[in-house]
Amino acid sequence: MTDNGSRITGLAYQDAHIHIQDADSSVLQTEDVGRFFCCATSYADWQIVKSFSEKDDRVIPFVGIHPWYIKTQDDVDGYEERLREALINCACGVGEVGLDGTDKASPSEWQEEIFRISLMIAKDLKRPVLIHCVKRWDRLFAHLEQVGAHNLRFCVHGFTASREILDRIIALGGYVSLSFRGIEKINRLVAVPEDKLLIETDWPYVPAQAFGKKYGMVLKETYQRIAGARQVTREELQESTFNNAAAFMKGLL
Ligand SMILES: [Zn+2]
């Protein structure tokens, strides 16, 4: 627990996936946010993400390379050593890492190797992993099964995929984080089990429906709409997601 313990034991929002380094840092002034899981996307921002957490206890850093930003073979070759070193010296999670089958992504051999190493080290050092997956679900499950997902705390972020994929994630013990993206799909908002649900903005990378809204509005409206769909109060949702995040982070908060 941190100095902010007393401030965040009350009901608070938390953001399970944000890139503060790419945003106006005034997001940290948003009221009533008890935790920010701040994800790096390339080596260039690992230190920046860590420095936010040094200045503000509510920021929990995650380090990794996003599947769009693996630029060279050297990025891949040096990754295992650099990730281990970054984690050993810091109460960090692993992320944002994953697999992406769109044109924006880096070559798939590089993605697969970075993801494999990320899962292996996360398991080894008992760190939670925040995962991005687009159009590569079978490969994602192959990696999770290979590493032994039941001994890994992982969360698939910004989830908008099918019920079948959701069920496979849950069967492996994973968490699922929902955002404003696809928020009109009520069935999906309801389907995630209560003890596996996290809520995020992915700020500043919000979908078009959220353009023009302020950060705090997007986060609060996401909670409000998910609470409404699930027929629970906002306070109940805050409490359950707060507890889920503590279980996901286990020992790192
Ligand atoms: Zn992200």
Contacts (Cβ under 8 Å, ≥6 apart) of 53: 38, 59, 60, 61
Q: Which domain holds residue 165?
A: 14-249
Ligand 1 midpoint to CA 174 (Å)? 18
Ligand 1 midpoint to CA 153 (Å)? 18
For residue 9, is it within any domain?
no
Ligand 1 midpoint to CA 251 (Å)? 23
Please tell me the pTM assigned to this model: 0.94
For residue 8, is it within any domain?
no
Ligand 1 midpoint to CA 56 (Å)? 20
Residue 42 C-beta-side C-alpha neighbours within 13 Å: 10
For residue 119, is it within any domain?
yes
Q: What is the dihedral of CA 84, 90, 95, 96, to 10 degrees?
A: -110
Contacts (Cβ under 8 Å, ≥6 apart) of 76: 70, 110, 113, 114
Ligand 1 midpoint to CA 206 (Å)? 10
Q: Please compute the mean of the pLDDT values over residues 9-18 and round it to a whole number.
A: 85
For residue 3, is it within any domain?
no
For residue 6, is it within any domain?
no
- Single-letter residue type at 36: F
pLDDT digits (tens, 9 = 90+) for 194-249: 999 999 999 999 988 888 999 999 999 999 999 999 999 999 999 999 999 999 99
Helix (H, G, I), strand (E, B) or coil at 191: helix
Q: Please compute the mean of the pLDDT values over residues 174-184 and round it to a whole number.
A: 95
Ligand 1 midpoint to CA 16 (Å)? 10
Ligand 1 midpoint to CA 246 (Å)? 20
**How much is the mean pLDDT over the chain?**
93
Ligand 1 midpoint to CA 96 (Å)? 6
- Residue matched to tokens 């009350």: 10
For residue 232, is it within any domain?
yes
Ligand 1 midpoint to CA 66 (Å)? 8
Sequential DSSP letters for 194-251: GGGEEE---TT---GGGTT--HHHHHHHHHHHHHHHHT--HHHHHHHHHHHHHHHHTT
Ligand 1 midpoint to CA 208 (Å)? 15
For residue 4, is it within any domain?
no
Ligand 1 midpoint to CA 146 (Å)? 24
Domain harbouring 131, CATH code: 3.20.20.140
For residue 5, is it within any domain?
no
- Residue matched to tokens 């027929």: 231
In the chain, how many domains are there?
A: 1
Q: Are 203 and 19 in contact (CB under 8 A)?
A: yes
pLDDT digits (tens, 9 = 90+) for 125-177: 999 999 999 999 999 999 999 999 988 999 999 999 999 999 999 999 999 99
Nearest to 95 by CA among 124, 125, 115: 115
Ligand 1 midpoint to CA 17 (Å)? 6
